[in-house]
Structure formats: structure tokens, C-alpha cells
Amino acid sequence: MRGLARLPICVQYGTNPSVGPAVVLVNGFFRMRLLPELIDNNRKWAETVSQTDPDFFPKLAKGQTPEFLWIGCADSRVPANQIVGLMPGEVFVHRNIANVVVHSDFNCQSVLEYAVKVLQVKHIIVCGHYGCGGVKAASENHHVGLIDNWLRHIRDVRAKHSQALDMIDDDDDRLNRLCELNVIEQAHNVCHSTVVQEAWDANKPLAVHGWIYGVKDGLLHDLDVTISKPTEVAEAYRVATNPIV
């Protein structure tokens, strides 16, 4: 990395995507650089932010103190910062297919540990979304490959709540209820993680939330499963998973 950083690089970024990729000179060799428009967008964004607040990047460079951990779906339509109007540095983010929290997933659990123990976030938001492709794939019994093992966690949610789900006639409504139940189950898993349990044992202020986002209207909905102490877990889960009749 040190060597790469020292390469003499002559760069010409295009400002118009229609002109095609930029050509760059690296160590005497011409190289094609793809996606110049994204780098160009970045330059403009950084300039705009700096003009609005000259201290913004220098302050961020000193460290991060986000109050929120966001555990969301990797879906490109659900960008954490944008939909809640937060700037860089204000929310710590973990995303995967269908916002699943598994106790043996060391990626997610490490993010959880770092967020709670080091950053000392005050809120953990598990956010799913209606029409989630991961949840839909899990609800259909098509076998794709490796991802089937990941979707198995959502199939378990479906099996657990099959009685309530089978009472819903409309396919879209049933899928959307499964999206909600998946959020509730994953928020429940967050509550039972060793990291959150230890934080509550130490009386640290920490709340777990379950939200769902509508890609059709851009609106977030609180699933009323907010839990801030271990004694609330069972009651919140029971109320939130109560069958819709």
C-alpha cells in the first residue's frame, strides 16, 4: 500500500460521462480509468460540503462518535444515511441481504461489538423494507446456490410464523408481513446477542429498534418493537408478532 501511494500518477478525470473513461498515466504507462463520472461526482460533493462547512472534513478526520448503529438490507434503494437525513459520521452501518442478524455471523457481531463497546452508540436500528428481494426469494422455494444457506434464516422466520402468514390471502400483503416479521425477529436476535446483553447488564443506555421502509413512498415505519432493557424483550416480541386478523 505504501508503494502504491507513492506512485507518480497523472490523472485526467472526465467531467462528462459521455466522453468515456479517462486515460491516466501511471509510472510511465497509460491506463484506462473507468467510472470517471463517479470520481467527478465525489469531487463536486466534497467541494460543496467543504464550502458549506469548512470544518466538516477536518472534524471527521479526528474520529467518529455516531449515536446510531444501522443494520439494514443491502438493497440499493435503502441507503441508511440518506433516508434519515444523517451526514457521514452520524450513523455506523452494517448491511447484508435482508438485514439478517445471526449469532454466528462474526461480521455482523463484530460490527455490533465495535458499535456498542467502542463507539458506544445509544440506538441500534434494524431496518428492513417492503418488497425485499431477499425475503421474497426466501418465501419462494427456488434453490439458487450458496445464498440458500443465508436465506434459510428467513425461511425459519416464515416457518415460525406460518400460521399467521397463511391467514393473509393477498400475496403482496403476505410478503410484506414476512418482511415485518423478519425485522422483528432480527431485532430480537440483536437483543439476545452477548454484546447487547452485557451492555444492559452494565446499565448502559442502549435501545434496539425495528423499522421498515417503503420503497414505494420513501417512508419509514416504526414497528413498535423498541426495547431498552432485558425485561422488555419478551413483551415487545409478543405484541409485535401478534397475528393480524
In the Cβ-directed half-sphere of 46, how many Cα atoms lie within 13 Å?
9
Residue 191 known to be catalytic: no
Axis crossing angle, helix 194-201 with helix 171-191, rounded to the nearest 10: 50
94 classed as catalytic: no
**Contact residues: Zn ion, CB under 5 A:** 73, 75, 132, 134
User: Is 233 strand, coil or helix?
Assistant: helix
**DSSP 3-state assignment of 158?**
helix
Min dist CB 35 to Zn ion, Å, is 25
Identify which of residues 66 and 134 has a Cβ nearer to Zn ion in the complex.
134
Residue number with CB closer to Zn ion (132 or 236): 132
Is 75 known to be catalytic?
A: yes
Task: Identify the active-site residue in 108, 123, 127, 132.
Answer: 132
Radius of gyration for the chain, computed over Cα atoms and rounded to the nearest angstrom: 22
- Least separation in angstroms between residue 156's CB and Zn ion is 17
> 56: part of which helix (H) or strand (E)?
helix 56-61
Task: Give 73 or 233: the residue with its C-beta nearer to Zn ion.
Answer: 73
Catalytic one of 75, 161, 179, 191: 75
Query: For Zn ion, which is the closer residue by CB, 69 or 179?
Result: 179
Q: Is 6 a catalytic residue?
A: no
SS3 string, 105-155, reads: CHHHHHHHHHHHHHCCCCEEEEEEECCCHHHHHHHCCCCCCCHHHHHHHHH
* Of 133 and 243, CB closest to Zn ion: 133
Cα separation values, 226 from 98, 184, 229, Å: 19, 10, 10
Measured in residues, the chain has a length of 245
CB of 191 to Zn ion, least distance (A): 22
Q: Which entry of 10, 31, 43, 77 is annotated as an active-site residue?
A: 77
Q: What is the largest CA-CA distance in the chain?
A: 70
- Least distance (Å) between residue 179 CB and Zn ion: 8
Annotated active-site residue in 123, 129, 161, 209: 129
What is the nearest approach in angstroms of Zn ion to the Cβ of residue 88?
23
Q: Just list the catalytic residues.
A: 73, 75, 77, 129, 132
